[in-house]
Amino acid sequence: MKLDEIKISKAIIETYNKKLIDALDVDVAIVGGGPAGMVCGYYLARAGKKVALFERKLSVGGGMWGGGIMFNEIVVQEKARAILDELGVKTRLYEKGYYMADSIEAVSTICSKTVKAGVKIFNLLSAEDVMIRKNRICGLVLNWTAVEMAKLHVDPITMAAKFVVDATGHAAEVAHIVERKSGISLKTKTGKVMGEQSMWADVAEETIVKNSKEVAPGLYTCGMCANAVFGGPRMGPIFGGMLLSGRKVAGDLVKRL
Ligand code: 48F
DSSP letters of 184-221? PPPSSSSSS---PBSP-HHHHHHHHHHT-SEEETTEEE
Query: Distance (Å, rounded) from C-alpha 253 to C-alpha 220?
Result: 9
- The CA 169 to ligand 1 mean position distance, Å, reads 4
pLDDT of residue 194: 98
What pTM value is reported for the model? 0.98
**209 CB contacts (<8 Å, ≥6 apart)?**
241, 244, 245, 248
pLDDT of residue 54: 99
- The CA 15 to ligand 1 mean position distance, Å, reads 27
- The CA 66 to ligand 1 mean position distance, Å, reads 13
Domains of the chain: residue spans and CATH: 5-65+103-256 (3.50.50.60)
H-only helix segments in 88-131: 103-117
Query: Distance (Å, rounded) from C-alpha 25 to C-alpha 139?
Result: 8
Residue nearest to atom 10 of ligand 1 (CA): 63
Tell me the per-residue pLDDT of 34-81, one tens digit each, with 9 for 90 and over: 999 999 999 999 999 999 999 999 999 999 999 999 999 999 999 999
Distance of CA 157 to the CA centre of its chain: 20
Closest CA to 124 of 216, 35, 57, 171: 57
Strand-pairing partners, residue 31, are 54, 166
**Low pLDDT (below 50) residues in the chain:** none
pLDDT of residue 157: 98
